[in-house]
Amino acid sequence: MGEHRPVLCDAALEGLAVRPDGLYVDATYGRGGHAAAILERLGPEGRLWVLDRDPEAVAAAREQLGGDARVTIVADSFAHLGKHLRAAGLHGAVDGILLDLGVSSPQLDRAERGFSFRHDGPLDMRMDPDQGEDAASWLAGVEEKELVRVLRDYGEERFARRIARAIVAARAEEPIATTGRLATIVAGAVPRREPGRDPATRTFQALRIAVNDELGELERVLPVALEALARGGRLAVISFHSLEDRRVKRFMRDEARGDAPPDMPLREDQIRRRLTLVGGARRAGESEVAENPRARSAVLRVAERRD
Residue 219 lies in a domain: yes
Q: Are residues 263 and 118 in the same domain?
A: no
The residue ranking higher by pLDDT, 104 or 146, is: 146
| CA 13 – CA 176 distance, rounded (Å) | 42
**Residues near 217 by Cβ (< 8 Å), separated by ≥ 6?**
77, 78, 79
For the stretch 108-117, pLDDT in tens is 767 778 778 8
Residue 2 lies in a domain: no
Are 135 and 273 spatial neighbours (Cβ–Cβ below 8 Å)?
A: no
Range of the domain at 158: 111-212
Q: Which of 82-86, 139-143, 237-241, 269-273 has the lowest mean pLDDT?
A: 269-273
Q: Are residues 193 and 67 in the same domain?
A: no
Read off the pLDDT of each residue in 241-267 and give the average, rounded to a whole number: 82
Is residue 4 predicted with pLDDT exceeding 60?
no
Is residue 143 predicted with pLDDT exceeding 70?
yes
| CA 49 – CA 230 distance, rounded (Å) | 15
Q: What is the pLDDT of residue 307?
A: 82
Amino acid residing at 299:
V
Nearest-10 Cα torsion for 117, 118, 119, 125:
-30
Q: Residue 137 sits in a domain of what CATH number?
A: 1.10.150.170
Read off the pLDDT of each residue in 254-272 and give the average, rounded to a whole number: 67
Q: What is the pLDDT of residue 222?
A: 97
Q: Are residues 27 and 84 in the same domain?
A: yes
Read off the pLDDT of each residue in 218-227 and give the average, rounded to a whole number: 97
Q: Are residues 29 and 99 in the same domain?
A: yes
Q: What is the pLDDT of residue 20?
A: 98
Q: What is the pLDDT of residue 86?
A: 97
Read off the pLDDT of each residue in 238-248 and give the average, rounded to a whole number: 95
CB neighbours (10 Å) of residue 280? Answer: 9
What is the pLDDT confidence band of residue 2, given thresholds at 50, 70 and 90?
very low
pLDDT > 70 in the chain, percent: 93
For the stretch 30-39, pLDDT in tens is 989 999 999 9
Average pLDDT for the chain: 92
State the burial class of residue 218 (Cβ atoms within 10 Å of its Cβ: 0-12, 13-18, 19+).
buried
Residue 247 lies in a domain: yes
For the stretch 13-47, pLDDT in tens is 999 999 999 999 999 999 899 999 999 999 999 99
**Residues near 98 by Cβ (< 8 Å), separated by ≥ 6?**
12, 16, 24, 25, 26, 27, 28, 34, 38, 236, 237, 238
Is residue 87 predicted with pLDDT exceeding 90?
yes
What is the pLDDT confidence band of residue 260, given thresholds at 50, 70 and 90?
low
pLDDT > 90 in the chain, percent: 79
For the stretch 50-64, pLDDT in tens is 999 999 999 999 999
Residue 189 lies in a domain: yes
| CA 18 – CA 173 distance, rounded (Å) | 56
Q: Which of 163, 193, 212 is the last residue of a domain?
A: 212
Amino acid residing at 17:
A
Main-chain dihedrals φ then ψ at residue 138, nearest 5 degrees? -60, -45
Total count of domains within the chain: 2
